[in-house]
Amino acid sequence: MKVALDAMGGDNAPGVNIGGAIDALRSYSKIEHIYLVGDEAILLEECKQQGLPLNDPRVSIVHAPEAVEMGESGAKAVRRKKQSSINVAMNMVKEGQADAFVSAGNTGAVVACATIKLRTLPEVDRAGIATAIPNEHGLCHILDAGANPEAKPEHLVAYAVMGSAYVRGVMGEQDPKVGLMSNGEEDEKGTTFTKETFKRLKETPGINFVGNVEGRDLFEKDLDVVLCDGFVGNIMLKTVEATAKAVSKWLKTEIKGNPLRLAGAVLAKGAFQAMKDKGNYETYGGSPLLGVNGVVIIAHGSSSALAIRNAIRVANESVENRINEKIEALLEEITATSSILD
């Protein structure tokens, strides 16, 4: 796999991006080449500091003099900054020079750029971000986690199909369970939007729709995909992240305040570390933007080198498993017998 890495994207760019690229090259033999896309002078200096030899045949710098800042309007920045690292790297995927795009940069800009340059797959109107969170049964994917805040019922039906294809193709789950986020598990619960979505999902062939789910089900219920619009999904995801950080902080405070608890914590160090690793977004790397005609992975804005390395791994898994082909095949199968996506 050849990956175009937005080396200027993210809160900690370009350091963590270079570090992540180094780790990925060491860890994954199937990576043929990593293109570090960004300001050449800055990247050369960072590579020198981190000891990345540019005579390595598997890595090279592609100059992009502009960068989209995290606080900029994504769509406007994409149109205005033609030579930004996001635009240049996405063009490499469009033109076939790279198999995948990875960025920890401005999410809105990445989504807009991917939609404009790569276009969406047949039968897909809006792309969605599938973000994995751990639960008692493995991984549950929130879809959409922020790409499409004003979704329509047909968009969520497409997300159900794409999420099912992704979980089946990459995670190896043969019959992925799909739930619809609502304010109650009963069929009649929800808004006009969720009720219409529920009705359509019940009629959609080819997916294992298990009905409405609530917030607690993200962690307790055996679910592979949880559907919602991007507005709800993004708030839900950030709330989960904030809660995990708060609980960790509270736990540390309570343990340090008592010598006996501190002694017990030493004995339970392995369990605490395992729990931390399971809940750490860095472990899961990045979220695929499903529905665009190319592999696009969006990493957390505050990603570390470990998160970038794992985002590159996720990109490799998507390319290797030909995820877009599987999404297209399932969409074609469903639309051949149903008009549910119309």
CATH code, domain carrying 32: 3.40.718.10
- Same domain, residue pair 164 and 179: yes
d(CA 43, CA 329): 40
Beta bridge partners of 297: 102, 288
Do residue 15 and residue 108 come from a single domain?
yes
Same domain? For 174 and 48 the reply is no
Asked if residue 327 is part of any domain, the answer here is no
- Asked if residue 144 and residue 100 are part of one domain, the reply reads no
For residues 136 and 112, state if they share a domain. Answer: no
Residue 206 gets the label, from left (phi > 0), alpha (psi -120 to 50) or beta, of left
Q: Same structural domain for residues 53 and 2?
A: yes
Total domain count for the chain?
2
This prediction has a pTM of: 0.92
Looking at the fold, whether 30 and 58 belong to one and the same domain comes out as: yes
Question: Can you give the C-alpha Rg of the chain in angstroms?
Answer: 21
Regarding whether 300 and 163 lie in a shared domain, the answer is: no
What's the token pair of residue 322? Answer: 């030909």
Residue 44's domain spans which residues?
1-124+291-321
Taking the C-alpha atoms of residue 197 and residue 179, their distance in angstroms, rounded to an integer, is 11
CB of 2 within 8 A of CB of 98? yes
Q: Is residue 331 part of a domain?
A: no
**Among 22-26, 31-35, 184-188, 310-314, the least confident range:** 184-188
94 shares a domain with 143: no
Same domain, 178 and 303: no
Which structure tokens are listed for 176?
A: 């992925």
Question: pLDDT, tens digit, for every residue of 84-115?
Answer: 999 999 999 999 999 999 999 999 999 999 99
110 & 141 share domain: no
User: Whole-number mean pLDDT of the chain?
Assistant: 92
In this structure, the answer to whether residues 142 and 112 fall within a common structural domain is no
In contact, 304 and 16? CB cutoff 8 Å? yes
Other CB atoms within a 10 A radius of the CB of residue 188 amount to 9
**Does residue 193 lie within any of the structural domains?**
yes
β-strand partners of 100? 3, 295
Give 36-75 pLDDT, tens digit per residue: 999 999 999 999 999 988 888 999 999 999 999 998 888 8
Q: How is 185-254 classified by DSSP, letter by letter?
A: SSTT-S-HHHHHHHHHHHT-TTSEEEEEE-TTHHHHS--SEEE--HHHHHHHHHHHHHHHHHHHHHHHHH
H/E segment holding residue 308? helix 305-320
CA distances from 168 to 83, 139, 227, 228, 295 (A): 37, 12, 16, 20, 17
Q: Which of 230, 254, 281 is the last residue of a domain?
A: 281
